[in-house]
Structure 1
C-alpha cells in the first residue's frame, strides 16, 4: 500500500464512471454512515434489477480471507472487480471503464503518481480500489476503549456482555473478541455458519454453491458486529430491520436443519431471555459503534 495508491483508489471508489451508464459508484451501495453498507435489504443495479443478498460491510475487511456471503473469491483485488462487471450491479466491462478514465487528465496524473506510469489497466484499477478499502479500519468504539481499560460498561451493557460471552447467549462462539481477532465475526478457521434462519435450504444455497459440499448448505459468512448499530438491515438477505428483531430471533432459538451450527443449542426450543436481558444485549452490541470512523473525512468523496 502507498499513499498515492490509496488516493487513487479513493477517487475510483466514488466515481460513477465505473458503471455502465455513469450512474453508480462503489459508494452507491457502500455508504460510510451505514458502516460502508446500505440501509436496504437488496441493492438495485443500473438497469433497475434488484439483487438477492444484502450488501456486506467493508469496514476492517483488510483482515478477511473470503469475500461475499458465500466466500466465492479469496482476494480483495478480485472482490472489487465483481460489482463492476456484475450484470445486475454496475454492469460494465473494464475496456469501457479504462476508455472513460483515459479521457480525464486527473486520472492520468493519479495513475502516474501511484504506479509510475499513466497506463490504466484492469489490475491497476483493482489494486488501487483494494488499497483504499483496506484503509477502512474501525477500532475506536466503546468496546475497544473497554479492552484497554478506558471505558466502564453501563449496568445494561454489562448484562449484555455477560450473556454474549457465556452459554446463556452463546454469541461469543462466532462473534467473540478472542475467537475473531477482535473483528467480532469471520476470522481464521471460523468463516461460515448456518445460524438457523430457515429449516429448509435449496441445493447450492450459501457456501455449498462454492464448495459443492452438502454440509455447507445454508451456511453464510459470519458478519462482523463492528458498527452493527448502523449496518442494518441484518442477515444475508436483510430480513431483520432492527437489532431488537435480531435479538428476538436468537431468543426463539432459530430453526433446526441438518447443517445448523452446533452452537445454536436452543434451536426449536428458545433461550427465554427476559426483557432486561434482551435490552442488555442490544446495549452491549451498540458498544461496537465507532462514531469517529463513521464520520472520518479521510473516507469521504474526494471529488
Structure 2
C-alpha cells in the first residue's frame, strides 16, 4: 500500500516537473499556451472546452456539408498547412467560383481576440461561423438548411449526442462546435517562442531585426501575440473596386473610416498576400508601403504620421526577425488536420 502511494507520488512529481520544464499552462482540457502569453479573453469558465465538442467542430470544419452545393468547407479558405489562411489568394473563394470581399484571415490564437472579421463586425467567436456560412459568395447556405441536413445524418446525430447529451443539431450547437475547435488552434512554437523559453538564441541579424521591430512596429503588433487585435488605419489607399472602408462599412462613424483589424505578425511566411484585400504579395512590398505608400487621412494611426525608412541591411534584419515568428509546428500538427 505504501509502495503504491509512493509510486503515485513520484508520478505526480514527474508530471509537475515536466510541466514546469516546458513552461506551459493547461486550461480547461486542451487549451495549451506558454506562461508568457496573457490570459485569454475568451471565458472558458462559462464555456469550457470539451474534447467531444472540439472533435465535432473539427469534423464540421472540413465538411462541405455546410455549403449550399456541398463543395466548400471552412478549410477551403483556411488551410492548416498555411496557418489556416488561403495563401496565394488575395480574396477568399467560395461556391460556384464566387469571390469574396476580403482576404481570408489566418485562424490561430483566437482565444485572445475580442472581435472577428477584418471590420470587427462579429464580437463573439461562438457565432462567427454564421458569417461565412450565410455569405452568398462564400458558403452561400441558410444556416437552418445546413442544420436540417446535419439532422438527417446518422453520423452527425451520434456526434451531437456525444457532445451535447442528445442527438439534435441546432445552429447554436453547430457554431459552438466550430468555435471550440478553432479556439484550440494556438501558435506558440516559433523560434521566437523557443528563445523566450531559453531553448534557442537569435542570430545577430534576428537580434538587430528585433530592435527594429520594437522601434517601428510594436505599438500595433505587441508581443507575444504580435497584435493588439485592435483596429488601425495603416495608410492604405481606398480600394474603389471593393468599396471597403473597414469598420466604417458597418458603423458609418467617421472615426472608423479605413480602420481594419490589426493582424498578427506570426506566420507571415504562410499567410501571403497581405492586408485586408491581399494587395501586397511580398513583405518587401509591405515595407515599401510604410516607406513610400502611406496615404494621409484623418484616421491615420499616429505611429505612421512619418514614414518608416529602413536601409537595405535593416530591411533584411527586420525580415529575419519576422521569419523567427513562423510556426512550423502549427502548420504540420496532425491534431488540426482533417479527421480520417
**1:194 corresponding residue in structure 2:** 233
Separation in structure 2 between the aligned mates of residue 95 and residue 254 of structure 1, nearest angstrom:
44
Give the Cα–Cα distance (whole angstroms) in 2 for the partners of residues 199 and 138 of structure 1: 31
Q: Distance in 1 between matches of 2:117 and 2:330?
A: 22
Q: Which moved more, 1:82-91 or 1:95-104?
A: 95-104
| Residue aligning to 1:98 | 147
Task: Give how far 1:78 is off.
Answer: 1.7
In structure 2, the residue matched to 1:246 is 286
Counterpart of 2:221 in structure 1 is: 175
Judged with a 3 Å threshold, the aligned counterparts in structure 2 of structure 1 residues 215 and 117 are, in CA distance, closer, same or farther, namely same
Q: Is the 8 A contact 2:60 2:178 kept in 1?
A: yes
Bigger shift: residues 142-151 or 285-294: 142-151
**Cα distance in 2, alignment partners of residues 60 and 271 from structure 1:** 28
Question: 1:116-144 CA deviation, whole Å, 9 max, x = no partner?
Answer: 00011110100100000001111111111
Task: Note the C-alpha offset of 1:149.
Answer: 2.2
Equivalent of 2:102 in 53, 60, 67? 53
Question: Considering only aligned residues, what root-mean-square deviation do their CA atoms show, in Å?
Answer: 1.7
How many equivalent residue pairs? Answer: 290
Shift in Å, 1:157: 0.9
Alignment partner of 1:81 out of 99, 118, 130: 130
2:307 matched to 1:282?
A: no
From 184, 187, 190, the equivalent of 2:226 is: 184
Pairing partner for 1:36 from 78, 84, 91: 84
Structure 2, unaligned runs of 5 or more: 1-48
Equivalent residue for 1:158?
Answer: 207
Q: Which runs of 5+ in 1 are unaligned?
A: none
Counterparts of 1:203 and 1:294, CA distance in 2: 33
Normalised by the length of structure 1, the TM-score is 0.91
Q: Which moved more, 1:156-165 or 1:251-260?
A: 251-260
Residue aligned with 1:174, SS? coil
Q: CA deviation at 1:42?
A: 0.6
Alignment match, 2:22: none
The 1:152/1:107 distance shift into structure 2, 3 A limit, reads same
Are 2:298 and 1:258 aligned? yes
- 1:16 is aligned to 64
CA radius of gyration, larger in: 2
Moved more, 152-161 or 216-225: 152-161
- With the length of structure 2 as denominator, give the TM-score of the two structures: 0.82
Deviation at 1:209, TM superposition (A): 2.2
